[in-house]
């Protein structure tokens, strides 16, 4: 069976890396399945992509925003038509079950439609001047060239959160996707090209962080860097961008908690914790890796949670009925196994799971059992550090105040949730849990594109994706004053 070799997309053309080198992309569910070979880009390729984006910017920024929106609407339609194909490609290359990858593509459809609507808004302000015969207003203007580095776990959704608001504001883009999921990025930019996006407006360079990511962040022509990935890498991105005062948006790690109070609907809470903890094999920045349960129902909850986790079907996400796929790489699987060993050494009780799956079809991929630790202390490493795998820690708490304190006792602040029938408790938790996202009687995952997405503390640096908040990353405010008095007026001085 022939294996396709994919190229970079620069100035509207598919072109190999300057070095001619490629890297392999293999399915994490079946490592004998070679998905494709992709361009191993270096600084020369980044330079070409940035030059292409710079040339395209001179004309793209002048295209009326409603006309930019027309292209996004056409892209949304194409994504809808290709949804099943793109979902299967995504499952093959990064492992999550095909129902989830279909949802990933749907987010791109939703985001394209949302940002296309902004093409007829992009609201500024008009306001009275303090002087006679003077008009005051503000408008959004594009920032310029955007360097975007995206994660493998949402390889179409996350690029859409960045690219569509960047485009509607009039910017041009160079995208460096995660090397673990380059095919989805190829599908993404091909869709934009088919929708009529002019050459050079979006460019794609594939490769690893050292070869392609670092030169992109450091390139002097790049004015905005938007990064999704680990907190450790995000810190390096921020430091590399600082000398040239680039605008930097960081979306990083999480250690999210669900609080379950005594009055919660037990089955609903278990449903939510299963989906929050083991959806995408726990490989989400919003994954519910901690469950904080009030002592009155702690044992009942833990027993039911363990029972349900043991029943999850683990396997290739393309197979019908699969509920949880593999870890993305052998390295990530080894990290999961190391944290299981750490949890045991720390004295947490391994309630279920804890082992790599190696028999039958599992032997071909990077699979791990759904794993639950009980009787976890808030200070244990498994309750503090992001594992990014199918490992959930269950912690007892005395009540709402104690639960909130435990939830806030980590370095991250992305997502939180509570299960309760007490509206007062729900509103208290909404206010007091330190997170950028919060859910009541729902898990920590499930954000919708029309609201801001992002976190605080070690999760982010103050910017947000999705919703109209995304426009603030990819535009600059310009305040404009029009004096039609026919004479010199001095603000704050003339009365």
List residues with catalytic annotation: 251, 285
Q: How far apart are the first and last CA of the chain?
A: 81
CA distances for 125 relative to 116, 121, 140, 481, 491, angstroms: 20, 11, 10, 12, 19
Residue 295 · residue 396 · CB < 8 Å: yes
Q: How many CB atoms lie within 10 A of CB 356?
A: 15
Q: How many CB atoms lie within 10 A of CB 291?
A: 28
Q: What is the 3-state secondary structure (H, E, C) of the chain?
A: CCCCEECEEECCEEECCCCCCEEEEECCCCCCCEEEEEECCCHHHHHHHHHHHHHHHHHHCCCCHHHHHHHHHHHHHHHHHCHHHHHHHHHHHHCCCHHHHHHHHHHHHHHHHHHHHHCCCCCCEEEECCCCCEEEEEEEEECCEEEEECCCCCCCHHHHHHHHHHHHCCCEEEEECCCCCHHHHHHHHHHHHHCCCCCCCEEECCCCHHHHHHHHHHCCCEEEEEEECCHHHHHHHHHHHHHHCCEEEEECCCCCEEEECCCCCHHHHHHHHHHHHHHHHHCCCCCCCEEEEEHHHHHHHHHHHHHHHHCCCECCCCCCCCCECCCCCHHHHHHHHHHHHHHHHHCCEEEECCCEECCHHHHHCCEECCEEEECCCCCCHHHHCCCCCCEEEEEEECCHHHHHHHHCCCCEECEEEEECCCHHHHHHHHHHCCCCEEEECCCCCCCCCCCCECCEECCECCCCECCCCHHHHCEEEEEEEEECCCCCCCCCCCC
- Of 194, 394, 396, 158, nearest to 280 by C-alpha is 158
- Of 219, 222, 221, 188, nearest to 206 by C-alpha is 188
Residue 469 · residue 452 · CB < 8 Å: yes
């Amino acid at each position: 069976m022939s294996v396709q070799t994919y190229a970079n997309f620069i100035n509207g053309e598919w072109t190999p890396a300057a070095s001619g080198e490629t890297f392999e992309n293999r399915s994490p569910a079946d490592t004998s399945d070679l998905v494709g070979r992709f361009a191993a880009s270096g600084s020369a390729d980044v330079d070409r992509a940035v030059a292409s984006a710079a040339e395209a910017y001179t004309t793209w920024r002048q295209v009326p925003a409603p006309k930019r929106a027309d292209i996004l609407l056409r892209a949304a339609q194409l994504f809808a038509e290709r949804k099943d194909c793109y979902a299967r490609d995504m499952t093959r290359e990064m492992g999550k079950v095909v129902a989830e990858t279909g949802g990933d593509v749907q987010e791109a459809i939703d985001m394209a439609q949302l940002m296309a609507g902004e093409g007829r808004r992009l609201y500024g302000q008009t306001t009275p001047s303090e002087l006679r015969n003077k008009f005051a207003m503000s408008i959004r203007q594009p920032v310029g060239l955007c360097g975007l580095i995206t994660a493998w776990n949402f390889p179409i959704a996350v690029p859409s959160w960045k690219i569509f608001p960047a485009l509607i504001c009039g910017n041009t883009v160079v995208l460096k996707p995660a090397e673990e999921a380059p095919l989805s990025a190829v599908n993404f930019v091909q869709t934009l090209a088919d929708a009529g996006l002019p050459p050079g407006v979006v460019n794609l360079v594939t490769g690893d962080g050292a070869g392609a990511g670092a030169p992109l962040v450091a390139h002097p022509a790049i004015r905005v860097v938007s990064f999704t990935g680990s907190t450790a890498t995000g810190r390096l991105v921020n430091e590399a961008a600082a000398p040239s005062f680039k605008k930097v948006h960081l979306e990083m790690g999480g250690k999210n908690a669900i609080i379950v109070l005594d009055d919660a609907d037990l089955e609903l809470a278990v449903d939510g914790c299963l989906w929050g903890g083991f959806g995408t094999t726990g490989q989400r920045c919003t994954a519910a890796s901690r469950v904080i349960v009030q002592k009155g129902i702690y044992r009942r909850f833990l027993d039911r949670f363990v029972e349900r986790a043991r029943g999850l079907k683990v396997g290739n996400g393309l197979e019908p009925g699969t509920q949880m796929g593999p870890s993305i790489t052998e390295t990530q699987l080894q990290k999961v196994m190391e944290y299981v060993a750490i949890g045991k050494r720390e004295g947490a009780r391994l309630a279920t799971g804890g082992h790599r799956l190696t028999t039958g079809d599992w032997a071909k991929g990077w699979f791990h059992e759904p794993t639950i630790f009980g009787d976890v202390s808030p200070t244990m490493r498994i309750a503090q550090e992001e594992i990014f795998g199918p490992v959930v820690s269950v912690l007892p708490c005395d009540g709402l105040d104690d639960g909130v304190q435990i939830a806030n006792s980590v370095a991250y602040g992305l997502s939180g949730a509570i299960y309760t029938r007490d509206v007062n408790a729900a509103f208290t938790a909404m206010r007091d849990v330190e997170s950028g996202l919060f859910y009541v009687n729902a898990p920590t995952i499930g954000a919708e594109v029309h609201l801001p997405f992002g976190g605080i503390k070690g999760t982010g640096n103050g910017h947000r994706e999705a919703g109209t908040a995304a426009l603030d990353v990819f535009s600059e405010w310009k305040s404009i004053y029009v004096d039609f008095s026919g004479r010199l007026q001095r603000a704050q001085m003339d009365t």
